[in-house]
Structure 1
Amino acid sequence: MLQFKRKRLLLASAGCVALMLLITPTHGDSDSEQRSYKMARPLELTPKLSLQLKLHAILLWSSVAFLMPVGVLLIRVSANVKSASTVRLLFYCHVASQVVAVVLATAGAVLSISNFENAFDNTHQRVGLALYAFIWLQPLVGFLRPDRGARARGAWYLAHWLLGVGVCVVGVANVYVGLHTYQERTGRSARPWTLLLTVEVAALAFVYLVQDRWSYVLRQREEAAAAAALGDGRSQGSTMYPANDHKEVVVVP
């Protein structure tokens, strides 16, 4: 089990490194991207365009920066639950949250493709295009889940987990990039929204880390309660007599 966890951690680290290498532009690309940002004209926000931008941000934020991480948390929590009915409920909530997230992301993609400039000359658009593909790939991988005990179950679980966590991490990062791009192109401050996103991400990360150790905390409580009950049983089983400090007086006739 420990060896499997080490392999999973190693593969996750390798996947993150590969993803960063794919996303991080080269020196020439960064120079051209900076020139394109400088040459890009500021957006003239009409009421219609402003509404479309806000709707696009809400759809993608709700999808990749909230519902998908919540789905990951739900399935992680189910691993520490003993009740079969609760596990089934958490699984269905996980599936429902991911389906809604895919629908919202698809709506955001349709909105951006049909109404915005799609030159794909900046990081936000390029990462977003790749993200849409992986968002649709993830539910397909989920529906192809092998049965428990099958030989391919471990490989499927690792791929499904890496893809889900990767989509969440890259999606949140792209929301940050989108807010920064909005501020640059429109001249309007996105600082309150960036702060709100940071608070949300910190809360989700805290819950993710705590629930991973919550089973250990519960097990320690159960062991402490069992030890206390055992100690009470031993104390009740043995007869305790109060100390008698009075000396007996023997009357001799």
Structure 2
Amino acid sequence: MGKIVKLSNLKKTIRYLKKNGLRQAYYAMKERIGAEKEDNYHYQPPGEECLKGQAAEGKSFSVKFSILVPAFETSEEHLQAMIASVLGQSYGNLELIIADASTTDRVERVVKAWEDKRVMYRRLKQNTGISSNTNQALMYATGDYAGLLDHDDILAPDALYEMAACINEKEGQGISLQLLYSDEDKCDQGQERYFEVHRKPDFNLDLLLSNNYICHFMVMKRQLMQELTFRSVCDGA
């Protein structure tokens, strides 16, 4: 199966190479290219009745999520898809915070057209990089957990429900989860074909110190994230 190489991915690879050196870049590329493909993989999204059941059950949960999105000259198509996927979650106790470093008004126009109280738009004075821009979005977060999302990502409709259900279950056992992450996948522009599932291992500190295998989707206790913040030296990692 062929794979389209996006210019943004090429630029990210070059930045990674400059920052981490040839050896680390080689092993990172080897891991991605050598990832085992699942020929029989087929993503089956949850049906309408399932999502309704999740919405009903979720009313008994109290956890609130803050979804942080740093935006920069995002295409209208990708932005609309991202917002729709967040606001269309079966678990709706959330806020979507978009920190926009664009020089045009396209992102602002698209976001404000949604007229949803759960969406917060913040225009940044300048683009200081994805880490710094995310930190500025984080300043406005009020949720129990903060989640990271790229401006051209989408969430499966049951993503936040699965996170909330896990948090609720563990709280019942007296366990306060600090961080949760999920597998991820790639899809075509129409969100009809899913073709490159990334099944992530259980938490592995050694692996994480050498490779950001967690990436998206991830949520962390909001207060912990605000204490740690993101470092610009890790942009593109």
Q: TM-score range by the shorter chain?
A: under 0.3
The two structures have a TM-score, normalised by structure 1, of 0.23
The structure with the greater share of residues assigned to helix is 1
The two structures have a TM-score, normalised by structure 2, of 0.24
